[in-house]
Chains A and B, each alone.
Chain A
Amino acid sequence: DAKTTQPPSMDCAEGRAANLPCNHSTISGNEYVYWYRQIHSQGPQYIIHGLKNNETNEMASLIITEDRKSSTLILPHATLRDTAVYYCIVRVFYGNNRLAFGKGNQVVVIP
């Protein structure tokens, strides 16, 4: 699976949109972008995934660039409970489930 690059940490203002970037310049055509997050002392939580179209669910929106080399996870109205490590993962959709979690992006929502 292709590797991803995320900033190690970032702060976001409570109530504002949080835009979390991810680079995956070596992504191949059959690989999807997945986002998970891990709130302190809890298990990872699936957020969203996409191939090339923008995706939205009740938790977040995923914007993937046209060349698919990068993506942005958007938390529309960040709350203090969104403070977590966010993981951007690339994997083949129907592949085996070796989800490769990197170091992630420690996001802190500030009041």
Chain B
Amino acid sequence: DTAVSQTPKYLVTQMGNDKSIKCEQNLGHDTMYWYKQDSKKFLKIMFSYNNKELIINETVPNRFSPKSPDKAHLNLHINSLELGDSAVYFCASSRRQDTGELFFGEGSRLTVL
């Protein structure tokens, strides 16, 4: 069983569309994250939820809206997609919010045309 799974793995869409990426972890962890890796390969945190509560919200356009229906799921919805949103989005989880050992998913590659 995959510990942190993301869907879809690939997503190609037009500018202006709205899309969602889903993430699920079966590790029983309390904390989940969204990271973005751009074309230059820099990996930056976007959001973090602890027990369904938002605890980290970096400077991210409000077109990006995370939602955590329960602590095993963290979805990312993106409105009005722009070319600059093209990136690989990684979901991750950790046992607690204060640990540095994160478990990452395989990533979702978003391409905006």
Which A residues fall within an 8 A CB radius of B? Answer: 32, 34, 38, 41-46, 49, 85, 89, 91, 93-99, 101, 103-104
Given A43-B106, A101-B42: A95 and B98 interface contact (C-beta under 8 Å):
yes
Q: How far is the CA of A97 from the CA of B99 in the complex (A)?
A: 7
A97-B33 CB under 8 A given contacts A43-B92, A44-B43, A103-B42: yes
- B22-61 residues with Cβ-Cβ distance < 8 A to A are 31, 33, 41-45, 48, 55-56, 58
With a cutoff of 8 Å between Cβ atoms, the chain A residues found around residue B102 in the complex are: 44, 46, 97, 99
In the bound complex, how far is the Cα of B24 from the Cα of A27, in angstroms? 35
Q: How far is the CB of B105 from chain A (nearest CB, A)?
A: 5
Does B13 have its Cβ within 8 Å of any Cβ on chain A?
A: no
Interface string of B4-36 (1 = CB under 8 A from A): 100000000000000000000000000101000
Question: CA–CA, A43 to B42, complex, Å?
Answer: 13
Closest 4 pairs between A and B when the two form their complex, measured CB to CB: A43-B104, A101-B43, A94-B98, A46-B101
Chain A residues within an 8 Å CB radius of B79: none
Give the complex CA separation of A42 and B107 in angstroms: 7
Q: Point out the residues of chain B lying under 8 angstroms from A32, CB to CB.
A: 100
- Which one of A45, A46, A98, A103 contacts B45 once the chains associate, using CB atoms below 8 Å? A98
Report if B86 contacts A (CB, 8 A).
Answer: no
Counting chain A CB atoms within 10 Å of each CB, the highest count among B42, B101, B105, B106 belongs to B101
Distance, CA A44 to CA B100, complexed state (A): 13
Known A46-B101, A49-B100, A97-B31; further 15 A-B contacts with Cβ < 8 A: A41-B107, A43-B105, A43-B107, A44-B92, A44-B102, A46-B102, A89-B100, A96-B48, A96-B56, A96-B97, A97-B98, A98-B56, A98-B58, A99-B45, A103-B41
